[in-house]
Amino acid sequence: MIATDATVFPSPLGNTSVRRMVLEIRELGFDSIVAIGQTGWEIDGFTVIGGTLVREPQVKAVINAARANSSGTGLLVVNAGNNGFNRAIIQIKGVHVIRHLHKTEKNSFDHIIARMSAENHVAIDIDLRPLVISRGIWRQKTIQRYKDIIGLCERFEFPLTLSSNARSVVELKSVREMVNLASLVGIAEPDAREALAAIRGLITPCGPVQVVG
């Protein structure tokens, strides 16, 4: 089974080395991760996909990151912003994933952007970490926001990805745990497993990847 955790943060962004994360997460049922701030490599059938994250809500920063990743072998992930920003970046060639929509206003992702996401094959990431660490009204708001996104996904069929957003091995989740968490926001198990496999369809499959071991 192909299963990719769509966003993890190894050191120096997190507190665990990427190799230590690989050892742990492959035991949890995954065959790949997107490691922010890392380059791509493979070891014993496990793939580390290099990831670049743009946090600034600036279109120019996204354009520059897309140019820097012109080979297409790494994943370009962008934090969502307002409606105008999201509509602009979803049209930039080389953007693969938009995440953290749960932190934005509801109108930041409407039916027009949802259709554009499907047409441009840009995935929307469902970050499962807030479902674990949030409590009370903030957790309920996140769940409802994700359910709204899932409703648009069912209508327009844009790609989804699932991420743990882990910064250490203790924050990593198994495939089963991620499927169960996804069910809380209305993602059925077959769709959750499809989302876990979606990363491979977003990046260039035949680019140069360092093989270590």
Domain residue extents for the chain: 4-201
Query: Two tokens at 37?
Result: 């701030």
Q: pLDDT-based confidence at 212, cuts 50/70/90?
A: very low
Task: Compute the distance between CA of residue 212 and CA of residue 131 in angstroms, rounded to an integer.
Answer: 35
Token digits of residue 63? 């354009």
Angle, helices 136-156/111-120, rounded to nearest 10 degrees? 60
CATH 1.10.357.10 fits 4-201, yes or no: no
Question: What six digits make up the tokens of 21?
Answer: 């994360």
Look at residue 3 and tell me whether its pLDDT is greater than 80: yes
Lowest-confidence pick of 44-48, 69-73, 148-152: 69-73
Q: How confident is the model at residue 70 (pLDDT cuts 50, 70, 90)?
A: confident
pTM for the predicted model, two decimal places: 0.92
pLDDT of 62 over the 70 cut: yes
The answer to whether the peptide bond before residue 190 is cis (omega within 30 degrees of 0) is no
- Tens of pLDDT, residue by residue over 137-192, are 999 999 999 999 999 999 999 999 999 999 999 999 999 999 999 999 999 999 99
Query: DSSP label at 12?
Result: T
Confidence of residue 72 (pLDDT cuts 50, 70, 90): low
pLDDT of residue 122: 97
Percent of the chain with pLDDT over 90: 89
Pairwise pLDDT comparison (192 vs 73), residue with the higher score: 192
* Both tokens assigned to 154: 């069912």
For the CA atoms of 61, 35, 5, 8, what is the dihedral angle to 10 degrees? -80
Q: What is the DSSP string of 156-175?
A: H---EEEE--BSSGGG---H
pLDDT attached to residue 208: 40
